[in-house]
């Protein structure tokens, strides 16, 4: 009776599992780029229920192992499902007890195949994922950075972003050669980009986490806020040059 009375809810056989048919609780942009000595990945901590800023302490950047981390925008529950799959993969790898860890490129390849397989079944995971890591040792090692979306479309680059970050933050990254920045300069650039995303994306909040991957391992900061300035002329009078608007 419930399935028949609620629009969009499909009738389920007893014991069957219901899939995510549409994204409900979602996260916005994930930003990432390589710098000299590592890779930075950042996002805010908001889980939006439609246009409502419902959950404000959702971690969307997560550690995979000592060499890789993953960030996600899109449906939060689907990202949690992906994290469980990755946890099982890392556990299986640890059971071999041979001292070899999954490389970031292998984690990325697994996620690309997983996302494309779900898309091929017409049952996609509603996420865009960013995988960052470090390959090799401190000497001669290098950062890895790639992204894959719900269709399985994927690529690697020195800078990546999901959601509005593609339009708002990535142009800032392209103005400089991020691979030549020191850590302090890289963090400042990331914070500038996060600030712009907060100004311009209504589904963002001023509470961020930055994940870092270097030869020493993976670290994720505690959530923190950035200083903001709302006295820009375009903020005070946004319709100045929009005749006929409210």
State the catalytic residues: 20
Hey, which residues does 48 pair with through a beta bridge?
26, 53
Estimate the crossing angle of helix 76-95 against helix 104-120, to 10 degrees.
Answer: 130
Contact 226, 198 (CB under 8 A): yes
Q: What letter does residue 139 receive in the DSSP assignment?
A: T
* Upper half-sphere CA count for residue 132 (Cβ side, 13 Å): 34
Contact (Cβ atoms closer than 8 angstroms) between residue 160 and residue 146: yes
d(CA 207, CA 224): 5
Nearest CA to 68 among 92, 103, 40?
103
């Amino acid at each position: 009776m419930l399935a028949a009375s609620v629009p969009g809810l499909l009738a389920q056989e007893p014991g069957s599992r219901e899939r995510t048919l549409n994204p409900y609780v979602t996260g916005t942009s994930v930003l990432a780029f390589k710098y000299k000595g590592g890779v930075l990945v950042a996002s805010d901590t908001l889980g939006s229920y439609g246009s409502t800023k419902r959950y404000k302490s959702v971690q969307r950047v997560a550690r995979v192992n000592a060499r890789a981390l993953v960030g996600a925008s899109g449906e939060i529950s689907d990202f949690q499902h992906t994290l469980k799959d990755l946890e099982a993969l890392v556990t299986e790898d640890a059971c071999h007890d041979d001292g070899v860890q999954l490389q970031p490129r292998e984690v990325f390849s697994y996620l690309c195949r997983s996302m494309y397989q779900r898309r091929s079944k017409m049952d996609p995971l509603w996420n865009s994922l960013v995988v960052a890591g470090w390959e090799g040792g401190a000497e001669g090692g290098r950062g890895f950075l790639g992204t894959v979306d719900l269709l399985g479309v994927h690529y690697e680059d020195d800078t990546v972003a999901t959601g509005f970050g593609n339009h708002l933050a990535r142009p800032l990254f392209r103005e400089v050669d991020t691979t030549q920045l020191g850590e302090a300069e890289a963090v400042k650039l990331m914070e500038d980009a996060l600030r712009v995303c907060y100004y311009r994306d209504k589904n963002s909040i001023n509470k961020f986490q930055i994940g870092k991957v270097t030869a020493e391992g993976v670290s994720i900061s505690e959530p923190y806020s950035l200083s903001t300035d709302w006295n820009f002329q375009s903020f005070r009078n946004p319709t100045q040059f929009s005749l006929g608007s409210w």
